[in-house]
Structure 1
Amino acid sequence: MTTIDGNWLFIGTDRRISECSRIMKEQGFNVLHYEGNNYSDQLAVILDELSPTHIVFPILQMEGTIPVDKINKKTILYPGMATNDWLAAFHEAGITIRPYLKEVEFVWENALLTAEGFLLEYYQTSKRRISGEHFHIAGFGKVGKMTAAVLSSLGASVTILARSPDQLGEAAASGYETMQLPTGTVDVKGILVNTIPSKWLDVGADSTLRIYDLASAPGCLRDNAPDEYYTIHLGLPGKHFPADAAKALSEALLRMNSR
């Protein structure tokens, strides 16, 4: 086994992170995994002893942050979800930052795993088949496209709801029914899969629309919307396919490191 130069520190309790660190260790990298989502005295000691050249952060933004003086200026940081405020000190220090959730191939891989994970959630909660069912999908970004493709391949009919003329045009060209995303109360029947990460959805008090929310916070329901038929499903790749998600992450890290 070839040992590859550099020390990799993986931070996080998500199984995708631990599995990814294992995969890279097996490939010859010098790897250490910190089982935590926050900065701590233990992490401080690890940083001093390991002197990592690469730090992979949790999928969700970690609690607290690593003091800049604990990081070598030549270290490369790989954050997941992180606000500009959280990243500001690293940017100001001139540290290289490569967010893995912006790596294009990984995002598409993650979108496909999310779509397949939704299938498992749907089967488990509905106890119904997909063939012959009608699904409305809000948004036609990467997750929306993958979800539509998976559902239609299993015989479902799909209607795409979007505001963007480009997304509506692409959806129509792909063979899906389309509908302008409503600005008021949504009046559709059946099943809605949301992939839009904003509070855009109003449903009537007597609505029986079944809503599966695959988008990140804050969820799609506005504050006055009933949630009896609403469930949110986050982190589906890590929940259902941790090994596949970790493999995709390891490959993304290597691509980013090689460019």
Structure 2
Amino acid sequence: MVPKSAQTTNPSWFTPKRLLGIFCVINLINYVDRGAIASNGVNGSLATCTDSGVCTSGTGIQGDFNLNNFQDGVLSSAFLVGLLIASPIFASLAKSHNPFRLIGVGLSVWTIAIAGCGSSFDFWSIAICRMLVGVGEASFISLAAPFIDDNAPAAQKTAWLATFYMCIPAGTALGYVYGGLVGSQFNWRVAFWGEAIFMLPFPILGFLIKPLQLKGFAPMESKQALTSNEANASENGADGMLVVDQAFIRGSR
């Protein structure tokens, strides 16, 4: 049970609908990236030559880095490596660190990694950046839903979570359009840099505004105070028992 001293009031910026809106936009950007990297404008195609000797240059990531089918498949799923490793780590850290700040850390990693994808120079550099994208996304994926469940009105929890998860197909579909347009009109690198710019305000907010606290998770200061109080109570209880025992012995004499 969380002690009363650990029950902090919500920060002034907070309203449940505002929190849902922020998380939905972040989730949408996450999945725009999933769609964008699979789009023809970003993923591209290899250079090809016909039997008559007419050749077309490669486009997108495949064309620039001359990727084979295996390497192209790795890029699309590399984020899962970071996601699977980092998700339980962030969930465990939430017991000792503020979960809202952890989301800020993860989104910072995500933003830097996405910018790195746009600045990559070969297959391995972009593959590593894609893995780090998964690491950054892990904090948000594992902690956002509990925040929504904590703060949604009791009768609307299911609807709010449904709204949050609707951003998955919506963001993926939007990503195909975004990647196709930006990749074909400008360059596939610009698509990644654009995603990083769109996400940048949210890690900044995660560090600058007063954080929320998940219900059932006491801040570290409160936990330390509670532990200290329990230790003092235990010592006082032991001293009291010693006094009673001594009085009993004297009385029996």
TM-score, normalised to structure 2's length? Answer: 0.22
Task: Write 1 or 2 for the structure with the bigger share of helix.
Answer: 2
Q: Highest Rg: 1 or 2? A: 2
Task: Write 1 or 2 for the structure with the bigger share of strand.
Answer: 1
